[in-house]
Structure 1
Amino acid sequence: MEPIPDQPMDQPKQKMKIPCNHMLSYIYLTQSYSYCAVCDGDNGMCYYCPSCKFHAHSECIEWPETIDHPCHSRHPLKKVSPGTIDYTDGKCHFCREELVDPTYHCSLCNFSVDVRCWRFPPERTIYQPKSHDHTFTLMPRKITFTCNACGMLGDCNPYFCFECAFMLHKDCIDLPRVININRHDHRISRTYHLGHGGWDSCGVCRKEIDWMFGAFTCKRCPNYAVHSKCATREDVWDGKELEDEPEEEEEIEDPFKVINDKEIIHFSHEEHNLRLGDDNVIGYEKMRCDACITPISCDPFFKCVQCEFFLHKVCASLPRRKRSIMHTEKLDLQVTNKAGEYNGCRSCNKLFDGFRYCSRFEKFDVRCGSVSEPFHHELHPHPLYHILSPTGRLKLCGACGKYLHYVLSCTVCEFNLGMDCATLPRKVKHTCDDHDLSLHHLPGKSKGQLWCDICEGKVDPSVWFYGCDDCGSTLHIKCVLGDFSYLKPGNKYGEAELVANGGMTRPFCICCGKRCRFPSFLKATCPNIVCEQRWGFPSFLKAASPDSTVLFACSMDCAYDKYFMVWFYEDFDY
């Protein structure tokens, strides 16, 4: 190709026609380390032909003014800008992607197609014997129809089977035949016609299923069915087709071996026996379960006969491998290898010690990993179900008022509950009150202003808080639990130690300058010379000795402040 001569600035830039008929990709120009064939630019989006090594910006290409399309042979299509056809739905007729400039359009038929679907039109006929016995033919006109595979309304060109009178979306022809989903323990199989029967609501979205259309069903559970679109969602299905793979029952080891009526050997603590604790937990109520890191409280628990190792009875029975609504893969139960090893929960974003459920790349604490559907919470009258919100569409948590990605949603009313709030302990003990504190929610019912008995700040009754039914006290959830509620006091994290805030005098935080009011805080010892050289001494800091200074951090924000973060550093993955 001859080089393009220089042109005056006031003349339009010369464009070129695409020199080949190969399939083009739409990529960032910098990804291929090349230049636009027209303007020699080296950045921006461009069309790329892998066969001809051709690159060109969309604005540098001269697209034809009119085209003929095999799926719309009655009229030619004219090149337009999407903004000039405001009476359309703004999407391509075939791929249903948002229209971009340039677009080809027929104003007589209200038919629009993007450049990619013009250059690579959809197949006129599709025959896939594994999916259907007959051939599907693309109808040459746009109609409104109900897809026989997924039961959803379509407003496009359907594929039609003349033998069965089935109409399908194009992407429903390729639906898998046999799959596993994270909402059910057995395989489920696809059918184009569910048939009359006593079907339950959809096992994912919990909405009604129309038996006249297709769905996924379980051969072992006669009433279980899932909408086709729900079963193949990216947060439900792992993407694996299992039709030709034999189904084998996976043998999962039990989490413990029974010694007698009161003793077991748990896989996480095989060196010693665990004995079922007595009903009287006095002396143990402040101890924490090594699996979930919450206080033993009055729940049944096992205690090691030789060391300070505790497990709630429920936590001791956690399965070593399970399906979870949190992930499409099966999760493995793993234990902490050493004191001070902590992780970040992918679901609730909390740092935690203890046991964790893990996929290949993600980790969940056992509280989130054990959540199942339907989820019942005493502060909401309806069951809740897990919904993974699409990117950019966060949902408002009705407990804390924050917009979150991982939520449990109500199918009856517009209520969502974030995973952090869903796994909050229902009852807790705190030194500010002799009674148990329980979760409360009083939207629109409070007769006066509520105040936190710990920080003396205002309590918003529209968000959840802890309260005492006997004394009438109210407390912020963070004031009661703090940021380190799922980390175990006494462990060292990096160079810092987590210390229970049970002394007579609360220490000053190195970062915010306030006294630590939460149940635990981080403590580290820093040489004075390091403090002076790196940060200088804040006015409120007192040297513990001539050679070193004891630093305290009361919260996670303060722990990662410039004064303290070097002492609380540890690699972890969300």
Structure 2
Amino acid sequence: MSSVQHSPLSPLFCPFHRLHCLFDPYNELTIINISCYLPNVEGHHLYPLYWCNNKESGDESLCHACTFKGIGTTYYFCHECEVSFHKECVESPPLIKSIYHSKHPLQLVQDESAGIYCSHCESRSSYQDAKLYYYCFTCKFSLHPVCATTPSFLNFPKRHEHDLNFFPRKADLTCDVCGVVDSKPLIYVCLQCDFVVHKNCIYLPFVIRISRHDHRLSFAYSISRILSCGVCRQKVDENYGSYSCTKDCSYTVHSRCATREDVWDGKELEEEPEEDYENLNSFEVVGDGIIQHFSHSHHMKFEKKTTENLYDDDEKRCQACILPVYGGGVYRCMKSNCDFVLHEACANLPRTKQHIAHPNPFILQVSDTKNIFLCEYCQRCLYGFRYVCSKGDESISIDVRCAAISEPFVQQCHPHPLFLSNELGKSRPCSICENEKVQTLNCIECIFFLCFYCATLPYKVRYEHDEHFLTLSYKENESLNWCEICEEIMDSTIWLYTCHECGTVFHIPCLLGKCPPYVKPAQNLSFNGTKCNIVPNNRLTRLICYDCDGRCQDKLMLEFYDEDGRNLFCYRHWEVADLSA
């Protein structure tokens, strides 16, 4: 410890041992009725606490009684335990009366389950140690010792010009900042202005940027007209606070929706310079139809593909999305011995991108296209270009198809636009694969949900025994009974691929296989740090899968080599997602 001022030995009992004196392993809540000023405790050694004034400590030090950071510069330190404590946690009496809960006294307790939270700061303890709270067993009301001693009024002129006083009664009052009637948070009022605000809404930011919109949003207490929220798609009350686009593009979001952890990155941008997430082009124009793409060392020339010879050219795939070049514009490497090719849309992918499902921006990564990665949203194991976000606790990768999904999302099989309007943490069944997913694209006009896996299924595909394109659709014609590949009866409520010219139908997995069309045979790949190959399974005798010990029907297999020799795996054993018929 630096800058520690040693004072005479304090008669205070170290909170660590004060808690352990009464610890009951059979109860989640242990009542603390030992005073913090005991000179001796039978059977327990009394550890002295030193009163410290350490300016270098700041707000990152952890109090080991309530297990929260923000210990400040003045606190107690136990040399025997080598831990620090809030002054309020050390000096906490067993029973108090608090203005925040005047009906009943609050009992000091130790919470072992992390099942209660502070009603003042609305935070739960984040560690599996002893958590110190003041608790009302009648009302299930709790406070941290620090929060229990805070003043009953708040002064924050940026939110309101007058002092805000704590309102002690539980009442159905509408918060002027978020527009929600919620008696769970503490409520503060200004009687002079008839202003009501939740404790957790007082310090909401004034200028933010969210994942669902390209421009910044600014907080306002009212709007001039009734609009729908850009996150939940519900009505926004024009008489209460919300966030609106600073570029006057009629985009508005509820205060609570805009500050959800999956929507907002937590940054206040009121005095920060503007930042454009998509300000970097992926290529430089060097001539008429000739570009220098940042992912490739050679010049690339634009070509207009026709619909002839498409299936014959299936091996020539886009390096970004690994899909065949089925027509439209492409950029092809000008060197005769280089087969590097990009769809026109893939060549124009932005270097930096904001995605609707994540609050932080993604960076386009092409340096490790030989690495198989797991897409966070569709849960496919893929390779090719990917977008990576390394901000926060972990790195997240998504493929270029999921990254291209924006709102409103147009699914050609569905008549209405789709929006990512899930409630936080709530899962829904996908209308195509029926798997429960937390993040789905939803129709606000009918009951239709689409997971990212099915949203990125190709709308048009080719089949080697059909000269026409097959399209993804919902089975409406009861006469279409047989899948052309497996020859099994088709369910009457199933999504499938159809040839409208020939009248044939196919199960999605039968046509695409367990291995999606975004993967092709490739050599010298890396999967979880192990070298591997993706090999075709098109011989007269099918290859045997190492895991299931059977001959695989998939078109592609994953090939590993170890000290025992060659190992082959079906795609379903190394991909996380599984689309059933």
**Which TM bucket (shorter chain)?**
0.7 to 0.9
2:78 is matched with which residue? none
Q: Structure 1 residue 127 and structure 2 residue 155: aligned?
A: yes
Secondary structure in 2 matching 1:438 = strand
- Among candidates 12, 15, 34, match of residue 17 of structure 1: 34
1:569 is matched with which residue? none
What RMSD, in angstroms, separates the aligned Cα atoms of the two structures?
4.1
1:58 is matched with which residue? none
Distance 1:437 1:122, change over 3 A: farther
2:74 is matched with which residue? none
Distance 1:14 1:476, change over 3 A: closer
Distance 1:138 1:559, change over 3 A: closer
1:509 is matched with which residue? 545
1:264 is matched with which residue? 291
Q: For 1:391-402, what aligned pairs fall within 5 Å after superposition?
A: 391=425, 393-402=426-435
Q: For 1:338-377, what aligned pairs fall within 5 Å after superposition?
A: 340-360=370-390, 361-377=395-411
Q: For 1:102-501, what aligned pairs fall within 5 Å after superposition?
A: 103-104=135-136, 113-114=141-142, 116=144, 120=148, 123-156=151-184, 157-191=186-220, 193-197=221-225, 200-247=227-274, 252-282=279-309, 283-306=312-335, 307-337=338-368, 340-360=370-390, 361-387=395-421, 390-391=424-425, 393-442=426-475, 445=476, 447=478, 450-456=481-487, 459-469=490-500, 470-477=502-509, 479-483=511-515, 485-493=517-525, 494-501=530-537
Secondary structure in 2 matching 1:491 = strand
Deviation for aligned residue 1:368: 0.7
> Retained in 1: the 8 A contact 2:364–2:388?
yes
**Paired residue type of 1:151:** G
1:50 is matched with which residue? 85
- Bigger mean CA deviation after superposition, 262-271 or 355-364: 262-271
Deviation for aligned residue 1:408: 1.3
> Retained in 1: the 8 A contact 2:31–2:107?
no
Secondary structure in 1 matching 2:182 = strand
Tell me the distance in 1 between the aligned counterparts of 2:89 and 2:575.
Answer: 52
Tell me the distance in 2 between the aligned counterparts of 1:463 and 1:226.
Answer: 36
**Paired residue type of 1:349:** Q
Deviation for aligned residue 1:125: 0.9
Distance 1:251 1:414, change over 3 A: closer
Q: Structure 1 residue 521 and structure 2 residue 551: aligned?
A: no
> Retained in 1: the 8 A contact 2:32–2:108?
no
> Retained in 1: the 8 A contact 2:277–2:354?
no
Distance 1:467 1:514, change over 3 A: farther
> Retained in 2: the 8 A contact 1:201–1:207?
yes
Residues 349-388 of structure 1: per-residue CA shift (max 9 Å, x gap): 1111111111112111111111110111122222211246
Secondary structure in 2 matching 1:314 = helix
Tell me the distance in 2 between the aligned counterparts of 1:500 and 1:446.
Answer: 35
Deviation for aligned residue 1:144: 0.3
**Paired residue type of 2:573:** D
Tell me the distance in 2 between the aligned counterparts of 1:449 and 1:301.
Answer: 37
Tell me the distance in 2 between the aligned counterparts of 1:472 and 1:121.
Answer: 74
Distance 1:14 1:149, change over 3 A: closer
Deviation for aligned residue 1:234: 0.7
> Retained in 2: the 8 A contact 1:479–1:517?
no
> Retained in 1: the 8 A contact 2:233–2:421?
no
Deviation for aligned residue 1:464: 2.6
Secondary structure in 2 matching 1:276 = strand
**Paired residue type of 1:17:** I
Secondary structure in 1 matching 2:165 = strand
Secondary structure in 2 matching 1:408 = strand
Tell me the distance in 2 between the aligned counterparts of 1:440 and 1:180.
Answer: 37
> Retained in 2: the 8 A contact 1:178–1:188?
yes
Distance 1:398 1:518, change over 3 A: same
Count of aligned pairs: 493
Deviation for aligned residue 1:223: 1.9
**Paired residue type of 1:171:** N
Distance 1:457 1:118, change over 3 A: farther
Residues 23-77 of structure 1: per-residue CA shift (max 9 Å, x gap): 874459xxxxxxxxxxxxx9xxxxx97258999xxxxx9955xx5332454x444
Secondary structure in 2 matching 1:155 = coil
Tell me the distance in 2 between the aligned counterparts of 1:15 and 1:160.
Answer: 34
Secondary structure in 1 matching 2:215 = coil
**Paired residue type of 1:438:** T
Residues 160-206 of structure 1: per-residue CA shift (max 9 Å, x gap): 12332111111110101111112222221112x22323x54222222
Residues 479-514 of structure 1: per-residue CA shift (max 9 Å, x gap): 524235333312333443212344454333333344
Secondary structure in 1 matching 2:196 = strand
Secondary structure in 2 matching 1:268 = coil
**Paired residue type of 1:114:** S
**Paired residue type of 1:138:** F
TM-score (norm 2): 0.73
> Retained in 2: the 8 A contact 1:464–1:477?
no
Unaligned runs of 5+ residues in structure 1 are 29-41, 43-47, 56-60, 82-89, 532-548, 561-574
**Paired residue type of 2:450:** L
